[in-house]
Structure 1
Amino acid sequence: MFPIRDHNPSGRTPYITYTLMAVNILIFLSYVGLFSDERALSRFFFDYAAIPARIVTGDGALTLVSSMFLHGGWLHLGGNMLFLYIFGDNVEDEMGHGRFLGFYLASGIAAGMIHILSAPDSIVPVVGASGAIAGVMGAYLLLFPKARIDILLILIIIFRVFPIPAWIMLALWFGMQFIGGVGSDPNAGGVAYWAHAGGFIAGILLTIPLWLRLGGPGFWRRTDGHPPHPEARYSTSRIPKVRR
């Protein structure tokens, strides 16, 4: 199940969202050649990825920031940029450009620290913007719970695009991260589930002051839980039937 777009484009150009996407892509392109040299890639990740056991000793604190701009492959990068593109613009619109950048970095750092708490002895490098983007998703859930998100559902041979409220999609995503975190060994590598869950919760908590300034429940009543912009109209996407 993949989100492909929301129905409420932002009211102004999301410069920070676009800049973050560009920076992530350009940084990935700058070292993608290292994937053909395992030793060089390991050295690069040792220097710039977040390694819990190293940070716990007081070394490499800045990697909590640098690791947010590194990715482990094309799919890792593409998936993160898709989520940032869908959810970042409206959150940036409400927060403002500068506050959104600070919020993004704070969410990413909080996600990294939660991961370190879950596996303080791990020597597995952690990379990716997922924790920061999880924070953006948490903010989106608090501000716009009823916004419509178009989902691409793939069930073996069935492909279908349909809209669902943001709170359903985001709640399912968070539930998957929580269950994944409970059922996995963070020292073994793979998906950093607790970083995702921690970033999501951090994003909600960091957005509460803004939500209260906007009116709290009154903001939801005024906007009906949607971004305060005209809703875009999309035709329903269908996969054509192929006859025998």
Structure 2
Amino acid sequence: MFPIRDHNPSQSRPVVVPALIVANVAIFLLTLPLDQTSARLWTELALYPAAVMQGDLLWGLLTHMFLHAGLLHLAGNMLFLWIFGDNLEDQFGRLGFLLFYIACGLAAAGAQIAAEPDPGVPMVGASGAIAGVMGGYLLLFPRARVDVLVIVVVLVRVIALPAWLMLLGWFGLQLAAGYAMSGAGGGVAYWAHAGGFAAGVVLTLARFLWLGGPAFWTRTHGQPPHPPSRFAPSRIPPVRRP
């Protein structure tokens, strides 16, 4: 399942979210393996858990959030940030959202280091920080609708799911994969995803309580506090194998 958009428009124009996307794309282009300089830059900016445990290369805790291991890795992360980030920026303000994003990324890195202090491979990617954005979104807008592209072998279709179902399902998969792959490597930082998501929920609690806590959910029924976006029905037809 791939989310392609939500029905939760932000009330202000996002600035930090597109700036983060531009920064990630720019650094991805700078670190493409074109020559020794770009390769060395990627190597020096990655996060090495074993080194961090020894107090070395600490800048990787921040810089790894802007590195990606390939085009699909980058595109997937930026899609999730674009879908869910604008509403969190709307709630926290620009500076507040930037600090929230970085804090979630640091928490994600901490969770991965605690789970696998010496994985043998460097850690890169914005997914831990973006998982935090998803956790905050879940707390504030659990019933906002998210359009999801579903691909089941021979069937392709777009369906609208409540955010709580899509996000909790995603979080559950990270936990399950983290336990299943514990100690086996595999190249995916599942515990960073889970840790970032949990940090996002915790760091959003203050905003949630300021809005009224459970009373906010009562007022909004867990949906966006303003009219949701409306889209024409999907034109993607079911695709079946001949």
Structure 1 residue 9 displacement after superposition:
1.2
- What is the TM-score when the length of structure 1 is the normalising length? 0.94
* 2:14 paired residue number: 14
SS at match of 2:31: helix
SS at match of 2:99: helix
* 1:95 paired residue number: 92
Which amino acid in 1 is paired with 2:21? M
Structure 2 unaligned residues grouped into runs of 5+: none
* 1:77 paired residue number: 74
* 2:181 paired residue number: 184
* Distance verdict in 2 for CA 1:226–1:241, change over 3 Å: closer
1:134 aligns with 2:135: no
Q: Give 1 or 2: higher helix fraction.
A: 1
Structure 1 residue 113 displacement after superposition:
0.7
SS at match of 1:123: coil
SS at match of 1:59: coil
* 2:118 paired residue number: 121
Match of 2:223 among 186, 203, 226: 226
* 1:23 paired residue number: 23
Structure 1 residue 42 displacement after superposition:
6.0
Match of 1:60 among 47, 57, 76: 57
2: CA distance between counterparts of 1:194 and 1:226?
A: 29
User: Does the CA contact (< 8 Å) of 1:119 and 1:187 recur in 2?
Assistant: no
Structure 1 residue 40 displacement after superposition:
6.5
- What is the TM-score when the length of structure 2 is the normalising length? 0.94
Which amino acid in 1 is paired with 2:12? R
* 1:4 paired residue number: 4
2: CA distance between counterparts of 1:163 and 1:201?
A: 24
Structure 1 residue 44 displacement after superposition:
3.5
Describe the superposition over 1:30-88 as per-residue Cα deviations: whole angstroms up to 9, x where unpaired.
122x1x56x76764343111110010000011111000000000000000000000000
* 1:197 paired residue number: 194
Which amino acid in 2 is paired with 1:82? L
2: CA distance between counterparts of 1:202 and 1:69?
A: 19
Describe the superposition over 1:123-173 as per-residue Cα deviations: whole angstroms up to 9, x where unpaired.
310000000000000000000000000011001121110101000000100
Which amino acid in 1 is paired with 2:202? L
SS at match of 2:222: coil
* Distance verdict in 2 for CA 1:242–1:174, change over 3 Å: closer
2: CA distance between counterparts of 1:13 and 1:75?
A: 27
2: CA distance between counterparts of 1:11 and 1:99?
A: 16
Which amino acid in 2 is paired with 1:205? V
Structure 1 unaligned residues grouped into runs of 5+: none
1:110 aligns with 2:82: no
* 1:47 paired residue number: 44
Two-structure CA RMSD over aligned residues (Å): 1.8
